Every structure is written in structure tokens, then in C-alpha cells.
Amino acid sequence: MAKVQNFTAVLLILCLFAILIPKTAFTDDSWVDVYGGAAQMRDGESTDIRMISETVRIYLEHNSYTVDASFEFFNDGKTATLNVGFPQLVHINDNESLHDFQTWVNGQRVEIREMPGMVLVGDTEYPADKLTDEQEAESRIANQVTKWLIKTVTFPANSKTITRVRYTAPYGAYAGPPSGRFVTYRFGTGRNWKGPIGKAEFIVKSLSAFIVGGDPANYSQEEERKWFQTVQLGTNERKHTLTDFEPYEGDEFVIWVGETKSSWEETFNGGFCSDWPFSVERVSNQMMGELSPHQLRIFRNAFYARHGKIFKSKDLNEFFKKYECYQPDPNFDESRLNEIEKANIEKISGYEKELKKLNQNRKKE
């Protein structure tokens, strides 16, 4: 358990620095003004259009990740035609960018136009593509929008409108241990619509070789912090949800991605026969949240296997036979389990039932 806690602590620390580390960051669809050959985000006080929800699906691949994000709006006022921009934040002298960018409005593919963002230098704003080297050095360009991908959207009165974007992007890099990369998505730019955002869901699906971790929230205003609710949807897939929130512009969703052994492999495979902490320590919610349904089943039955239970399921017997310490005993009795082991089994079983119910509901949607 100590290994799991230490590993998680490292991830949390790394994510605090994520806003400085990624090469590029991509963000919510925003309402923008276009003037002077550049675009700038509007405030949400002069619009009747609300963002009801957003669903951001992130697919982690070996050398890049793909984002497919949908935004559901409702116009409480008159029909309005607005410039809606998808902003990109880039570090100075960084030429890497998103590619294969596509966008839709109510299911119809639409064209975009690229425009530079307005960057603050001292007390004056300049188009990002017009900055001199001296102005770039003076500005904090890495935290500002340098490019907008803009589409024109008509929001009918008293109606829903759905926009969608899809793109592939490079990972942000981290040089220190543990080696890995970051995915950063700034959801704070969704603040310029009317009122709070009803619900935001970030669904992350990774390759089986990946370990994905960290507290996904990186807030610009720490005192206003609101935690993501995280659930495991299936093998290598999790959903992180925020509800009824009004973000600050700099708020981000950040995850760490590494191609290393997971805490499950380190704790279970390395400690099943020797350093097994779960006979004397409670299983944490965080530990369960890191496991797939298949891993949860093995984890729950590992308590029985350590006391010699012979399983009816062939796959469980074959799995535990790999370990020298597994000694099948036809006289196994559950009375051999101590109270902490019984409590851990009950807790894991309850979590499995919740996960199964969640997946059933998901299939009905």
C-alpha cells in the first residue's frame, strides 16, 4: 500500500507543474470577437447562450493523443449568429501543433478560418503573429491564446445547438522522474457563456501498456477548487466529471501518461507471496479506482488464494498456480480470513457491483 500511496503522491506533485510543462494546450469552444486581424474571447455577461454540457473524449496513443469533444448549448434569447473559436495555447518558439482538426455544428461538417489571438504585453494587446522578439520576451505568451480556429454558428432562439471538434495533438513532455508525458485541456475558456456549465465529462481511454494518473484538476484559483468525480468505465477507460461549475479562464484538465508498470503490477505481482499489505491494511478507494474490472476480480480472489482456496473458475486456478506460494487446499475454510481481509473483500465486491451497474446504465444511453 505504501508503494501505491508514494506513486500517487508523485503524480499529484507533477500535475501541479503541468501548466508550465506541456508544449501545447487545447480548450473549449468559446465565443470570440474578431477585430484588427485578430480574435479575442468575449465575456459571458452579454449573451443568453448557456453551455449545458460538454463531453471530452481523449484517446491516448503511443506518440500522440486524439480528442473528440462535443459541446451542448441552449439559447434562452433571440436567434444569434456568433463567431465561435477553438483556442490554442502554445509555448514560445514551439512549432508543434494539433493536426487533422475537424469541426461540426449539429452534425454538419463546417469550415474554419485561422486567426491569431490577442496577446497582452505590459498593458497593451497585440496580435500574436505581429509580436517582435522583444515583445515575445516581455509577454507571458505561454499562458495566452496565440491562435484561434473560428467557425460561424447560428444559435436559434429557445433551442439547443451542438458543436463538436476532433483533432490529434502531441503530448507535453516532462523531463524529470518518473518519465512520462502530459495531456492538457483547458476547460476554463468555457466560462464566457452565460452562467455556470451544467456538466463536464472527460473520458480517457488508453492503450493497455499505459499507466494514466494524477489529480486531473489544475486550477488557476485554488480556493475555488472543485474535485472531479472519477469512475472506472472498463479496462483502460475512466470518466472524470464536474457538475454545475463556473470555471476560471486558466482552469485545466491534466493527466500524466507513462509507459511503465502500473501500481497494480508493482503491488500485486511483486507482493502476492511476500510483501502483501492488504491483510493488515484497508484497500483504498483510489487503489480500486486504478483497476480494471478484470483486475478487481483477481484482486478480490487473491485473499482466498493466499489461504489455499481451490476455485471453480478455471481461469482463476490457472492464474494463481503461477505463484509458488499458492498451495491449493481442499479443506479451505473462510474462517482462515482475518477481519481486515473480510472487510477488503466486501469493499472490493461492492465496488464491482457499482461498476457493473454503471456500465449497464451506460449501454442503455
- 95 HSE (CA, 13 A, CB side): 0
CA distances from 292 to 88, 205, 238, 289 (A): 33, 12, 9, 8
**Spatial contact of 178 and 258, defined as CB atoms under 8 Å apart:** yes
Q: Partners of 85 in the beta sheet?
A: 30, 150
Question: Quick one: 126 exposed, middle or buried, by C-beta within 10 A (0-12, 13-18, 19+)?
Answer: buried
Q: Quick one: fold of 2-258?
A: Immunoglobulin-like (2.60.40)
Provide the grid cell at 55.
463531453
Give residue 355's pLDDT.
77
Give residue 138's pLDDT.
60
Query: What stretch of H or E contains 317?
Result: helix 314-320
Give residue 203's pLDDT.
93
Q: Quick one: fold of 263-364?
A: Methane Monooxygenase Hydroxylase; Chain G, domain 1 (1.20.58)
Q: How many CB atoms lie within 10 A of CB 105?
A: 17
Give residue 19's pLDDT.
33
Provide the grid cell at 212.
494514466
Residue 192 falls in which region: left (phi positive, over 0), alpha (psi -120 to 50) or beta = alpha
Which is nearest to 165 in space by CA: 54, 239, 43? 54
Give residue 34's pLDDT.
62
Give residue 114's pLDDT.
83
pLDDT means per 10 residues in the chain (365 residues)? 38 34 53 59 74 93 86 94 78 55 94 78 67 64 67 94 91 57 80 89 78 61 68 82 84 75 55 78 78 83 93 90 89 94 94 77 53
Which residues, at least 6 apart from 216, have a Cβ–Cβ distance to it below 8 Å? 15, 202, 228, 230, 240, 253, 254, 255
Query: Hey, where are the domains in the chain?
Result: 2-258, 263-364
Which is nearest to 112 in space by CA: 130, 88, 86, 81? 86
Q: How many angstroms separate the CA atoms of 276 and 59, rounded?
A: 34
